[in-house]
Structure 1
Amino acid sequence: MTKYILILALFFALIGNSSAQWTTVCGTGNGFVDNFEVFNNELYATGFFTSLCGTTNNHIVKWDGSVWQPVGTGNPNAGHQLKYLGNHLYFVGYEPTVTDSNWVYQYGGTDFFKKGEGVYLTNAVSGGSQTANLYALEEYNGNIIACGEFNRVGNKAISGIMQWNGSVWDSLGSGLSGNIAGTAPVMYPHDMCQWGTDLIVAGNFLKAGGITVNGIARWDGNQWHNLGAGFNGTVYGTCVFNGELYAGGDFTMSGSTPLKCIAKWNGSAWVDPGFRMYYNNSGYYSFVHTLKVFNSKLYISGGFDRVIEGSTVHLGQGICAFDGTTIDTLSGGTLNREIEGIALYNGEIYAGGGINNSNSYIAKYTNTASLDELEQQINWTIQPNPIETNCIISGIEKETLVSILSLEGKVCKTVQANGSEISIDLSSLEAGIYLVKIGGKQRRLVKK
């Protein structure tokens, strides 16, 4: 019977030059960055900020690759999404007061103007989370679709989702209603995408067209349909990748199927796509917020610092990518930052977010190598595995620091290599899973 077992966990840092890395574009600002959109060869951003990288603005800025600038007069309220649809740029955001209406805004080249009638929430509560907030825009069958927290548009009873028919906002059936059981009593559709000939709408709502859908629904142009059992929590993002429908949020179940914030539709039910996201600290709120496809990869962002892929545990915070087969942690993600905005601009991935709603963060990622290619650059090995007392690590450089860490990141032992091989005594540690850290720069990966 073994007393001390180390189940192999490789935690490596690339030593020397790496072709994949994050560069901070903006580390100063007074509000979270929610969303990006590329328009007229510039990167537009919106969120909770009124100051970003020294630029005073009203929740909307643009970046030409070197300078941030305000966009017209912006919007007096925080933004949630910018969307390029039908050769126009549109904006939707939050409405923190009860009496005012909220609008979809269209960009006219110098400033934004209201499009059609405003939306209202008759049971609004002043202060933020239950007011006439608008979350997402999508184009479907030639019409602009907008969704959010509202039950009236102008004088018409329209609930949760509306379409622009060329002159006025109109309904999609009887719309959306209710909230998922066990969640806050607030109905809010949060994201949309087109899947084949159908419109997919996701968020926190119980019903679509009067049928129970639990957070995600399909509109075929005439009526609403459910997608299996839906979820037990909010769906923040939905996206089509390689012809398949994905959903991300804070959910942990679909019917009796256990999940961790991400799911894939298999044609009849929501299933685990082979990877899951979460915070290692159970006291933190784990969620997937945004799903986007660039360069044949699915980019996933939100609040998490672990990505499980089969039996492999990756250390990756805020953002990662999936090529249909394997997860790429993108050099470990964005340390201590949560990410909601993702964009591809000038050949680089931009990520926007922050620590909380009172600070801003934008970084860009230059990636010319895949995860597998980067792993192949690592030539060291660890034997045996599992172990009882001692392990031997080979293929490292002389004077390299080798550290043994707990899964929580606590350093348990550090040894300096005298040659290309080093023996480490672990008999003083409790049985369990540990991380082996080689060096101290850039990339992190954990695998069983």
Structure 2
Amino acid sequence: MRYTFLWAMCLATYAGTAQNWQQVGDFNRFVSGPLYNDTTTGLLFISGANRFNGTDTLDGFFTWDGTEFVSLGKGRSDCGNVGCGPALFLVRYNDDIYFSGPGLEKIDTVTLRGIGRWDGLQWSAGLLGLNEAVSATPFLDGYYLHEGNLYASGAFRTANGDTCNSVAYWDGTKWTGLDFPGDGFSQSVPRVHNILFYKGELYVAGNFYVFLDGEWIADIARYDGSQWHAVGGSIKGGLADIWDAIVYKDELYVCGYFRKADGNVGNKIMRWDGEQWKEVGEGVCSPSASARNMLIYNDKLLLGGIFDCVDNGLPVSNIAAWDGERWCSFGNSVFDNSISAMAKYQGTLYIGGGFTEIDGQPVKYFAKWVGDHSTDTCSALVVAAPEPEQAARYALNISPNPAHSIVTLALEGEIWGGKSVRLSIFNALGQEVWSAMSVSGREKVSLVGWPTGVYVARVELERGVRTEVFVKE
């Protein structure tokens, strides 16, 4: 399938203010995440590098109920005078909350083996049975709940004594490994950040190098229930890494650090439809950018990290929104540092990261969205062009072009078949300015009061989308 990229960009400065974002808490260090919206208790569980919220001690693990922060016991025992080590894994399974991270040896004086279990009152060691190596502490990173089992990935060599190389599932009683291959590059434990099911198969992604299907494969693989396989070849580039993976609109999205220049389909983000890799617009265009996390929020895919543009130059600042067809900024605010974690809680978007200023105003480490999207800018639509034989069988005609006060959109061709279709027009910012459902396939549109400039007319058909450009003088 060919793709037509229609791009128009507003050369505007960032108009947002810190009023789009409101600081939550008064943390002494960054909130690296993860953030977990626990629907059972109605609490937002949070992990961060911060020891303190103002003068209150939180020690790395705590909850937020929309009004106040509450520590979980006495928190991590490895917190220094200033901050705490990272946590990567945070999820409810059955009746308890589980935390995990590199070097997690003690919480609230309780000795652990990389995984802590919180029952609502106290800590204990959780999900026992994993080991990394002779002396290193195993830890978990990704998770996926499937058919009553907790599928998990991270960095561990064995599960209940069986070699499993960082991929296993917990059935409520014991671990079962899934025989993932060992890392062939360093002979170390594979570093698997993400695990999830897509179209009935198990996918894992991260930073690893394994031998599958007769070749060396980097950073992503799939399991069909009995064997592991490559996913559209290998992620390319010596420094490539996949940081996050999510299913959005029936496609598997991955983000991280990988580049088209190294032979990948996309820049820092791309999508897999079960058969092939596809771009996400033009991806992240910042050369040294890192796309760290994704979240589905109000039917859009949010991308967070540290980057300053997406697509062919749409200016953004460490967060952007993709709706399946085009990129948009999110609030047009400017962050001075990265966004590391995102969650939707009580209908509101919360973010954590290393930022200390937004739009030049002091907003540090943890914030919630309180703004609107009136200043957002978008790339033009990324639409699938019809195949040549289909294109010859229908056309979207625009007349006159250029137009002054009125323009006529007329759909012609046998592939249309006289069915009701949706016609729409977008301005140069990618904003929809007119739309209608048409039975006749012919609509007259008044342009009175419209700014002069370039517009894109679009028609949606069962077999594809067709666009045409016209000018309003």
TM-score if structure 1 supplies the norm length? 0.68
Query: In the TM superposition, what whole-angstrom CA distance separates every residue of 1:30-73 from its partner, at most 9, and x where no partner exists?
Result: 34422101122221111322224443123111111121121123
1:29 paired to 2:22: no
The CA deviation at 1:115 is 2.5
CA contact (8 A) 1:351 1:362 kept: yes
Query: In the TM superposition, what whole-angstrom CA distance separates every residue of 1:148-170 from its partner, at most 9, and x where no partner exists?
Result: 11112354333111111331111
More deviation, 298-307/325-334: 325-334
Which of 366, 371, 380 does residue 370 from structure 2 map onto?
A: 366
In structure 1, the gaps of 5 or more residues are 1-6, 126-130, 376-448
| Greater RCO (Cα-Cα under 8 Å, separation 6 or more) | 1
CA contact (8 A) 1:33 1:360 kept: no
Matches within 5 A, 1:58-207: 58-76=59-77, 78-86=86-94, 88-95=96-103, 102-122=113-133, 132-172=138-178, 174-178=179-183, 187-207=190-210
The CA deviation at 1:329 is 1.8
- Is the alpha carbon distance of 1:292 and 1:184 closer, same or farther for their aligned partners in structure 2, counting shifts above 3 Å? farther
Query: In the TM superposition, what whole-angstrom CA distance separates every residue of 1:297-327 from its partner, at most 9, and x where no partner exists?
Result: 111111212222xx3x222222222122222
- Is the alpha carbon distance of 1:9 and 1:48 closer, same or farther for their aligned partners in structure 2, counting shifts above 3 Å? same
Aligned residue for 1:122, secondary structure, equals coil
1:214 paired to 2:215: no
- Is the alpha carbon distance of 1:218 and 1:46 closer, same or farther for their aligned partners in structure 2, counting shifts above 3 Å? same
Q: Which runs of 4+ in 1 moved over 6 A?
A: 183-186, 208-211, 370-375
The CA deviation at 1:296 is 0.9
The CA deviation at 1:104 is 3.3
In structure 2, the gaps of 5 or more residues are 1-7, 78-84, 106-110, 357-362, 380-473
Which of 262, 269, 280 does residue 269 from structure 2 map onto?
A: 262
- Is the alpha carbon distance of 1:361 and 1:132 closer, same or farther for their aligned partners in structure 2, counting shifts above 3 Å? same
Aligned to 1:244: 251
Query: In the TM superposition, what whole-angstrom CA distance separates every residue of 1:385-418 from its partner, at most 9, and x where no partner exists?
Result: xxxxxxxxxxxxxxxxxxxxxxxxxxxxxxxxxx
CA contact (8 A) 1:254 1:270 kept: no
The CA deviation at 1:28 is 2.8
Matches within 5 A, 1:431-442: none
Aligned residue for 2:370, secondary structure, equals strand
Aligned residue for 1:277, secondary structure, equals coil
CA contact (8 A) 1:161 1:176 kept: no
- Is the alpha carbon distance of 1:165 and 1:255 closer, same or farther for their aligned partners in structure 2, counting shifts above 3 Å? farther
Aligned to 1:343: 343
Q: Distance in 1 between matches of 2:257 and 2:189?
A: 15
CA contact (8 A) 2:304 2:319 kept: yes
CA contact (8 A) 1:159 1:177 kept: yes
Q: Distance in 1 between matches of 2:328 and 2:187?
A: 34
Aligned residue for 1:113, secondary structure, equals strand
CA contact (8 A) 1:121 1:152 kept: yes
CA contact (8 A) 1:103 1:118 kept: no
- Is the alpha carbon distance of 1:8 and 1:113 closer, same or farther for their aligned partners in structure 2, counting shifts above 3 Å? closer
Aligned to 2:294: 291
Q: Distance in 2 between matches of 1:184 and 1:52?
A: 42
Q: Distance in 1 between matches of 2:279 and 2:218?
A: 17
Q: Distance in 2 between matches of 1:221 and 1:332?
A: 44
In the alignment of these two chains, the number of paired residues is: 348
**Please, what is the CA RMSD of the aligned residues?**
3.4
- Is the alpha carbon distance of 1:362 and 1:349 closer, same or farther for their aligned partners in structure 2, counting shifts above 3 Å? same
- Is the alpha carbon distance of 1:10 and 1:248 closer, same or farther for their aligned partners in structure 2, counting shifts above 3 Å? same
Aligned residue for 2:283, secondary structure, equals strand
Identity over aligned pairs, percent: 23
Say which one has the larger Rg.
2
- Is the alpha carbon distance of 1:175 and 1:37 closer, same or farther for their aligned partners in structure 2, counting shifts above 3 Å? same
